Amino acid sequence: MAELQKDFLFVLIKSLTTSEKRQFKLYVNRLGINVDAKFLLLFSEIDKMTEYDENVIINKKISTKQQLSNLKAHLYKQIW
| DSSP annotation of 16 | S
For 2-50, how does the pLDDT look when each residue is reduced to its tens digit (9 = 90+)? Answer: 445 578 899 999 999 999 999 998 888 886 766 678 888 899 999 999 9
* 47 three-state secondary structure: helix
pLDDT the model gives residue 35: 63
pLDDT the model gives residue 33: 67
Please tell me the pTM assigned to this model.
0.80
Instruction: State the angle between helix axes of 8-15 and 38-48 in degrees (0 to 180), rounded to the nearest 10.
Output: 70
Contact in structure between 46 and 16 (CB atoms under 8 Å): no
Q: How far apart are CA 35 and CA 16, in angstroms?
A: 21
